[in-house]
């Protein structure tokens, strides 16, 4: 909430009527004693204001210090006269004002200067109260005039009162106790409905809890208790918190209404309308970072009124259809809508700033919460009866079909197990050669590498590539190429050990992982495979196809902790590339 206020007290003689402070009266409403001046430029300072003619000032009586949303600066002037040294407090009972500067003059002499406001940390306030309270250092006798300068990005409301010290503290104690009870009731509502949500796990209840939470925080921010107790040092949050609470509260109202009234099933068009409202509110929440607070708050208040009307209309329609819970819902939103409309019109300056207006909105909302809680309770009872009937029907069906159901489950389980086994096999095996596919080979390789690292065992990897494989496909056809792959795999399967991991990496390229195998032993295995393949040509349709392989070998003994299988494959592949380049049909070793 971006609001700026500068307050100036000056003890001088002016044409305005004078407020006599020597009486026994304990409290003064300053509305009847004030004059105001609108500074559209916002550039006038106190010295310029003091030089303004009497004609520039307007009588503030009847304005109730409420001017709606305005970019102008407003100055107020009040004449005082004291007769006796007493403690007086100036109360500005609108906690959302940003910057307040207070000057006290007597006979053109500055007596006091105080700066406060919600753009400053709460700890800097003269008195640690929810509203702005300024202790006045008045002389024992004399005349006075005070000037109050206000600018606001939010609603321009400046309710001012003057309190005798003892009376103020008595009033403050009563107000604190009342607000404590109020927020205690809000907390009870939150905990009660949170318990219901945990018990029934129904989305409507959690959205109701969130709505009540946002409502409680909104009232706390509106009354100044939030800044006093919850976020006293979060100045930036104080400026935008109220708008966030309004927007988020309206979003949760939409979602609560959506689930509580089952709008997609009963009133689908209204459900879509509220979903659209949620997107608009989310957009406002994002635009809050870019547009003025003034514009966002006004749009948020309009959206709140719109959503309240739609929710009330939905309740009326379902009430007419015979829904019992819709009666409580409709009564609740009737109360809420009246409260919201009056509060909104007051913020826009259409209605005056009445004393009871600040009580009506929180009171109306609490009454709405009570009625909604009754509606939720009624819904619990209705759903409980429905669940009992449904459970009895399910039990009856289960008893009649128990044997048949068990048989079907058993048959289906066997089918699923067979299907899962087939799928698992297909996911790990290369269709053509019957060895591990690339993904399965890499998975097994990662496990083998972890084991080798843990026990510090040697690990060797061989990459095999069939020489001149493209020529086989070109000269004999792809079927012959497939036979060559199967022929080579069959030879390898007869020579490798049970613990070795063999798989097809792609095309005519294969990988062989030799566990607990040193470089010399791995080379012997690779040479044995090479020689066996070389002396075993493939007999294909009466033709003899010579087959040879080039191999790259890489061994780690032991593997380093940071070594990866990808790095081992790269080293083996480079050795394979060297074998290809140096004549093929050979084994090239690249040892770590």
In tens, the pLDDT along 74-112 reads 888 888 887 776 788 888 888 887 777 787 777 777 778
**pLDDT value at 8 more than 70:** no
- Mean pLDDT along residues 67-72: 76
What are the two backbone dihedrals, phi and then psi, of residue 101, each rounded to the nearest 5 degrees? -120, 125
**pLDDT value at 21 more than 60:** yes
pLDDT exceeding 70 applies to what percent of the chain? 89
Q: Which residue has the higher pLDDT, 387 or 228?
A: 228
- Mean pLDDT along residues 126-133: 86
> Over the chain, what is the mean pLDDT?
81
Q: Whose CA is closest to 66, among 141, 150, 137, 146?
A: 150
- Mean pLDDT along residues 56-65: 71
pLDDT exceeding 90 applies to what percent of the chain? 14
- What angle do the packed helices 357-400 and 203-223 form, to 10 degrees? 170
Q: Whose CA is closest to 157, among 67, 225, 237?
A: 67
Residues near 128 by Cβ (< 8 Å), separated by ≥ 6? Answer: 122, 228
Rg (CA), the chain: 42
Candidate CATH numbers 1.20.120.450, 2.60.40.10, 2.60.40.2380, 3.20.20.80; the one for domain 3-168: 2.60.40.2380
- 3-state DSSP assignment of residue 344: helix
Give tens-digit pLDDT for 241-280. 888 998 998 999 899 889 888 888 889 999 999 999 999 9
Q: Which two tokens stand for residue 537?
A: 């040509």
What residues are labeled active site? 508
Within 10 angstroms of residue 539's Cβ, the number of other Cβ atoms is 11
**pLDDT value at 2 more than 50:** no
Q: Which range, of 28-32, 188-192, 357-361, 566-570, averages the lowest pLDDT?
A: 357-361
pLDDT at 553: 93
- 3-state DSSP assignment of residue 589: strand
Among 40-44, 128-132, 226-230, 464-468, name the most confident range: 464-468
Report the distance separating Cα 533 and Cα 265, nearest Å. Answer: 71
> Between vectors from CA 168 to CA 164 and to CA 172, what angle results, nearest 5°?
180
Q: Whose CA is closest to 365, among 253, 235, 289, 282?
A: 253
pLDDT at 1: 46
Give the bridge partners for 116, in sequence order: 100
**pLDDT value at 552 more than 90:** yes
Give the bridge partners for 59, in sequence order: 35
- Mean pLDDT along residues 32-57: 83
E strand spans, 93-196: 100-106, 109-116, 132-136, 141-152, 155-157, 160-164
Fold of 438-591: Alpha-Beta Plaits (3.30.70)
pLDDT at 277: 92
- Mean pLDDT along residues 429-449: 89
Q: Which two tokens stand for residue 283?
A: 């957009």
**pLDDT value at 5 more than 60:** no
- Mean pLDDT along residues 447-473: 91
Q: Which two tokens stand for residue 556?
A: 């780690």
pLDDT at 531: 92
- Mean pLDDT along residues 57-63: 70
pTM comes to 0.57
pLDDT at 248: 93
**Dihedral sign, CA of 480, 485, 486, 491?**
positive
Give tens-digit pLDDT for 491-512. 888 877 777 899 999 888 999 9
Report the distance separating Cα 452 and Cα 437, nearest Å. Answer: 22
pLDDT at 296: 87
Give the bridge partners for 462, in sequence order: 512, 553
The answer to whether the CB of 435 falls within 8 A of the CB of 502 is yes
Q: Which range, of 160-169, 171-180, 359-368, 558-567, averages the lowest pLDDT?
A: 359-368
How confident is residue 360, by pLDDT bands cut at 50, 70 and 90? Answer: low
């Amino acid at each position: 909430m971006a609001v700026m206020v500068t307050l100036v007290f000056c003890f001088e003689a002016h044409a305005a009527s004078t407020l006599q402070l020597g009486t026994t009266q304990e409290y003064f409403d300053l509305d009847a004693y004030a004059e105001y001046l609108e500074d559209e430029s916002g550039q006038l300072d106190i010295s310029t204001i003091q030089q303004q003619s009497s004609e520039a000032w307007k009588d503030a009586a009847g304005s109730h210090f409420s001017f709606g949303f305005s970019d102008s600066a407003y100055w107020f002037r009040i004449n005082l006269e004291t007769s006796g040294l007493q403690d007086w407090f100036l109360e500005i009972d609108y906690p959302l004002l940003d910057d307040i500067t207070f000057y006290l003059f007597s006979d053109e002499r500055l007596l006091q200067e105080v700066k406060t406001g919600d753009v400053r940390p709460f700890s800097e306030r003269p008195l640690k109260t929810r509203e702005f309270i300024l202790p006045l250092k008045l002389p024992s006798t004399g005349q006075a005039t005070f000037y109050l300068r206000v600018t606001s990005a939010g609603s321009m409301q400046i309710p001012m009162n003057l309190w005798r010290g003892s009376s103020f503290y008595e009033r403050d104690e009563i107000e604190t106790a009342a607000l404590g009870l109020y927020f205690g009731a809000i907390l009870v509502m939150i905990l009660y409905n949170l318990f219901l949500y945990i018990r029934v796990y129904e989305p409507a209840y959690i959205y109701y809890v969130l709505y009540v939470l946002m409502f409680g925080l909104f009232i706390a921010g509106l009354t100044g208790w939030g800044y006093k107790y919850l976020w006293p040092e979060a100045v930036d949050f104080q400026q935008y918190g109220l708008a966030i609470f309004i927007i988020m509260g309206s979003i949760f109202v939409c979602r609560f209404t959506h689930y509580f009234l089952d709008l997609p099933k009963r009133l689908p068009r209204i459900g879509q309308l509220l979903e659209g409202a949620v997107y608009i509110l989310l957009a406002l929440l994002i635009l809050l970072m870019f547009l003025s607070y003034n514009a966002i708050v006004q749009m948020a208040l309009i959206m709140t009124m719109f959503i309240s009307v739609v929710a009330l209309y939905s309740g009326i329609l379902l009430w007419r259809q015979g829904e019992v819970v819709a009666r409580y819902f409709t009564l609740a939103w009737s109360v809420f809508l009246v409260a919201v409309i009056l509060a909104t019109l007051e913020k826009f300056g259409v209605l005056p700033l009445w004393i009871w207006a600040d009580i009506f909105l929180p009171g109306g909302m609490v009454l709405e919460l009570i009625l909604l809680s009754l509606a939720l309770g009624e819904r619990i009872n209705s759903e409980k009866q429905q669940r009992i009937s449904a459970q009895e029907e399910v039990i009856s069906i289960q008893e009649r079909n128990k044997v048949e159901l068990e048989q079907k489950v058993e048959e289906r389980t066997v089918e699923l197990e067979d299907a899962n086994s087939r799928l698992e096999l297909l996911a790990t095996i290369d269709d053509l050669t019957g060895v591990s596919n690339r993904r399965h080979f890499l998975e097994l390789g990662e496990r083998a590498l972890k084991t080798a690292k843990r026990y510090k065992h040697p690990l060797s990897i061989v990459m095999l590539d069939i020489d001149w494989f493209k020529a086989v496909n070109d000269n004999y056809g792809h079927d012959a190429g497939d036979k060559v792959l199967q022929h080579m795999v069959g030879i390898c399967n007869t020579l490798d050990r049970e613990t070795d991991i063999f798989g097809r990496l792609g095309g005519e390229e294969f990988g062989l992982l030799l566990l607990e195998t040193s470089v010399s032993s791995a080379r012997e295995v690779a040479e044995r495979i090479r020689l066996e393949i070389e002396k075993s040509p493939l007999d294909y349709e009466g033709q003899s196809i010579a087959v040879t392989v080039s191999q790259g070998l890489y061994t780690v003994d032991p593997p380093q902790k940071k070594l990866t299988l990808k790095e081992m494959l790269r080293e083996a592949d480079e050795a394979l590339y060297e074998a290809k380049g140096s004549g093929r049909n050979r084994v090239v070793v690249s040892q770590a």
